[in-house]
Structure 1
Amino acid sequence: MLKITDLSVHYGVIQALKGVSLEVKEKEIVALIGANGAGKTTLLHAISGLLKKSGGEIEFLGQSIMKKNARDIVKAGITQVPEGRRIFPDMSVAENLWMGAYLRKDKAGIEADLQSVYQRFPRLAERKKQLAGTLSGGEQQMLAMGRALMAKPKLLLLDEPSMGLSPLLVKEIFSIIQDINAQGTTVLLVEQNAKMALGIADRAYVLETGSVVLSGTGAELAASEDIKKAYLGG
């Protein structure tokens, strides 16, 4: 579904991504783990069309998206849930969700998907008229995910969805990710909580200082002694 080949990104003279290659197959959950500053968010921004690429190739459903802008990439079926949620705090929960569907014209489909989001996240239904900025951290994460789902993505990019959440809420968010995937949406997950990420991932990649240094199934990486020492506290 998504194929990245030898991708490079520079911030001025600094090379943030150094020939990254990876693949996400349809209906998979693929995790991308690594320390702060490894280039994980940069990679998601490059896929989403938010950053200029300096080399390589990104293909989605067999078509190059290297030169597409962010709007056209959303239209093609890729939606990102950004790090730190980035909800619109002065808009209501319902208005935030409608913003996720801003490129769509199918009113009946939008309404049906809105109801589907409310079913998946009952707390959002209870707070639909509430200002998004007044929600708890966990509720804001659910809102960011619900807003992304309103775009009807084929591929959902998740950037640190567990950041700042309590262990109980982290479990709930990861359960929701699995549910979204089970219903047919492919997921590329960037996550500092390596244990949780590898626990739900079909496959995973490890990024270090802008390069992929290891890949395998989620179970293989979770069992790796190097990964245990570096990321799992073992």
Structure 2
Amino acid sequence: MLKIDNIHVYYGAIHALKGISVNVNEGEIVTLIGANGAGKSTILRTISGLLKPKTGELLFEEKSLLGYGAQNIVKQGISQVPEGRRIFANMTVLENLELGAYIRKDKKGIADDMGNVFKRFPRLAERKSQIAGTLSGGEQQMLAMGRALMSRPRLLLLDEPSMGLAPLLVKEIFSIIKEINETGTTILLVEQNAHMALSIAHHAYVLETGRITLSGTAKELAASEDVRKAYLGG
């Protein structure tokens, strides 16, 4: 579904991604793990059209994404839940979700998807008239995910969904990610909590300073001694 082939990305003079190649098959959860600054979020920002690779190719369903602006990437069927949630803090929960569907014109479909988001995240239904900035961290994460789903993506990019959340909420968020995948959405997940990420993913890539150092099935990586030592606490 998504093929990233030998991309090089720079922030000014800093060579952030050095020949990265990643494949995401339809229906999978693929996770990118690695330390802070390894380049995980840069990959998602490049797919989303927020950064332009200097060289390399990005193909979504066999069509090049290069040259598309961020809003057109969403129209292709790719949506991102950014690191730090980035909800619209001064708007209500409902307004945030409506903005997630800004590229759509099908009123009935939008209403159905809104109903599905409220079923999946009952707390958002209870707080739909509440100003989003007053929600708890976990609720804001749910809102960011619900907002991304309102564009009806075929590929969902998730950037550090567990960041700053209590362990119980992390479990809940990961169980929702698994459920979103099981209902037909392909997921590319960037996550510092390598243990949780590998527990739900099909395939995984390990990044170190802008390069992929290991890749394989999530089970293989979870069993790898190097990965255990570096990311799973021994």
Task: Give the TM-score of the pair, scaled to structure 1.
Answer: 0.99
Q: For 2:189 and 2:22, how far apart are their aligned partners in 1?
A: 13
DSSP 3-state at the match of 1:50: coil
Q: What does the per-residue CA deviation read over 1:60-99, in whole Å, with 9 as the maximum and x for residues that have no partner?
A: 0010001111111100000000000000010000000000
Per-residue deviation, 1:49 = 0.1
Partner of 2:157: 157
Spell out the pairing of 1:22-171 with structure 2 (5 A cutoff).
22-171=22-171
Q: Is residue 220 of structure 1 aligned with residue 220 of structure 2?
A: yes
Q: For 1:195 and 1:188, how far apart are their aligned partners in 2?
A: 16
Q: For 1:175 and 1:193, how far apart are their aligned partners in 2?
A: 14
DSSP 3-state at the match of 2:16: strand
Per-residue deviation, 1:52 = 1.7
Q: For 1:66 and 1:194, how far apart are their aligned partners in 2?
A: 30
Q: Is residue 200 of structure 1 aligned with residue 196 of structure 2?
A: no
Partner of 1:176: 176
DSSP 3-state at the match of 1:30: strand
Count of aligned pairs between the two proteins? 234
Q: For 1:185 and 1:179, how far apart are their aligned partners in 2?
A: 9
Q: For 2:85 and 2:72, how far apart are their aligned partners in 1?
A: 22
Q: For 2:25 and 2:66, how far apart are their aligned partners in 1?
A: 18
DSSP 3-state at the match of 1:181: helix
RMSD after superposition: 0.4
Q: For 1:86 and 1:13, how far apart are their aligned partners in 2?
A: 27
Partner of 1:4: 4
Q: What does the per-residue CA deviation read over 1:43-63, in whole Å, with 9 as the maximum and x for residues that have no partner?
A: 100000001210100000010
Partner of 1:187: 187
Q: For 2:67 and 2:42, how far apart are their aligned partners in 1?
A: 16
Amino acid at match of 1:126: E
Per-residue deviation, 1:12 = 1.1
Amino acid at match of 2:65: I
Per-residue deviation, 1:13 = 1.2
DSSP 3-state at the match of 1:45: helix
Q: For 2:8 and 2:77, how far apart are their aligned partners in 1?
A: 23
Task: Give the TM-score of the pair, scaled to structure 2.
Answer: 0.99
Q: For 2:11 and 2:96, how far apart are their aligned partners in 1?
A: 31
Unaligned runs of 5+ in 2: none
Per-residue deviation, 1:9 = 0.3
Q: For 2:85 and 2:128, how far apart are their aligned partners in 1?
A: 17
Q: For 2:195 and 2:67, how far apart are their aligned partners in 1?
A: 35
Q: What does the per-residue CA deviation read over 1:136-168, in whole Å, with 9 as the maximum and x for residues that have no partner?
A: 000000000000000000000000000000000
DSSP 3-state at the match of 1:41: helix
Per-residue deviation, 1:107 = 0.7
Amino acid at match of 2:203: R
Amino acid at match of 1:167: P
The percentage of aligned residue pairs carrying the same residue is 70
DSSP 3-state at the match of 1:184: coil
Per-residue deviation, 1:177 = 0.2
Amino acid at match of 1:74: V
Q: Is residue 18 of structure 1 aligned with residue 18 of structure 2?
A: yes
